[in-house]
Amino acid sequence: MARQTILDEVANDLAIWLDQTSTQIALAMSPQGIAPFAAPLSETQKLEYYRDQLFNPDGTPNMPGRTQQMARLGPQGFRQVYGSVIKAYPYLRVPTPPMAPQSAAGAPAEPPAPAVQEEGY
């Protein structure tokens, strides 16, 4: 084994100090597991924020907000947030289509054929 010089000892002490100091600074910047500059919000406040991002005040889809959140959260995160918003605000849920009238055989009746307009010359 090679003999350590004073410079080796100083380099070793400096490496230990850098490692310990950087760890202490990182822990100080994220107390209690919260990211730096993160706002402490209640669940209600989070749901209101995402409601406003996903829906306009009249209940129609907010497409720019949805596009932004889809890019930020990814498909799975967006699905989870959307489900939470719909659960908290059920009036925003897409209405279920009406049931088709049943024929005598029990099968759904076919919708009437659309009227064809003939073009005049």
Residue 86 counted as domain residue: yes
Measured distance CA(115)–CA(63) in Å, rounded: 34
Task: Confirm whether 23 is domain-assigned.
Answer: no
What is the structure's pLDDT at 95?
73
Summarize pLDDT for 15-34 with one digit per residue, the tens. Answer: 999 999 998 888 777 766 66
Q: Which domain holds residue 62?
A: 41-93
Q: Residue 121: which pLDDT band, with cuts at 50, 70 and 90?
A: very low
In a domain, 83, yes or no: yes
Tell whether 105 is covered by a domain: no
**Domains of the chain: total:** 1
Q: What's the pLDDT score for residue 96?
A: 73
Would residue 59 count as lying in a domain?
A: yes
